[in-house]
Every structure is written in structure tokens, then in C-alpha cells.
Amino acid sequence: ELYPRVQHCCCEDSWQARLAGAAAIRVLSVKLPHTYLRKHSATTLRRLFNVLCQLPEHSTVEADELDATLTELLRKCLYDEAPARRKKHSTAAAAGLAVPAAAAGKNSVDGGAAAGGG
């Protein structure tokens, strides 16, 4: 199957290959039914967070794309919502998770309070 192969791309050595895997997941998540995505959601989310955590610091646009992919995937899996262009919501808030500031290339969700800034 194509989807497991695409997921495996997110574990490659080069960050370019990982980003290609994440982009392919985004394209396929629009086409695949929510039941299939829900079945593979744990592995997919793990792979996408792996890509996000290993991105270089200067890859802020790619981090934003991953954030949008994670948000759309969670909406489709959890709420069976069709992907639509909406205002950007934090994936971490949607998932109830805290994304490390260094991994996302931006401030943490809580405004830095967890890092001793508040």
C-alpha cells in the first residue's frame, strides 16, 4: 500500500525526505476516508511529530505546514470534518499537547511559562 510507504518516508535520514513524506501524508489525508485515517492515526501522528521535532531551526514555513497537516488530520480523524481552509489553529492546542519551542521554531503554546519565562 502507498500510505505505509509514505509514512516510512517520515523516518528517513534526510530532512528533505521526511518533509516529502509529510507532504504526501497531507495530500493523501484529503483523499482517504476518515475510517482508514483513524485506523492509522497513531502511527501517522507519531511520524509527523517526528518530522516536526527534527526540522532545522530555520524551517519555520515547513513547521507551519506540518502544523496545518496535523490540525487537518486530527479534525478528520476525531470529528470527521472535511479539510477546509480555516484560520490557523495551534495543533498543540487541538491535540492537547505541548510542542517544544525548539522543535516548532517558535514560542511554546503557553507563551514560555513552562520554560521559566513567566
Do residues 66 and 18 lie in contact, with contact meaning Cβ atoms separated by under 8 Å?
no
pLDDT digits (tens, 9 = 90+) for 23-65: 999 999 999 998 999 999 999 999 999 999 988 888 889 999 9
Do residues 37 and 76 lie in contact, with contact meaning Cβ atoms separated by under 8 Å?
yes
pLDDT of residue 114: 46
pLDDT digits (tens, 9 = 90+) for 70-112: 999 999 888 877 655 544 555 444 444 444 444 444 444 444 4
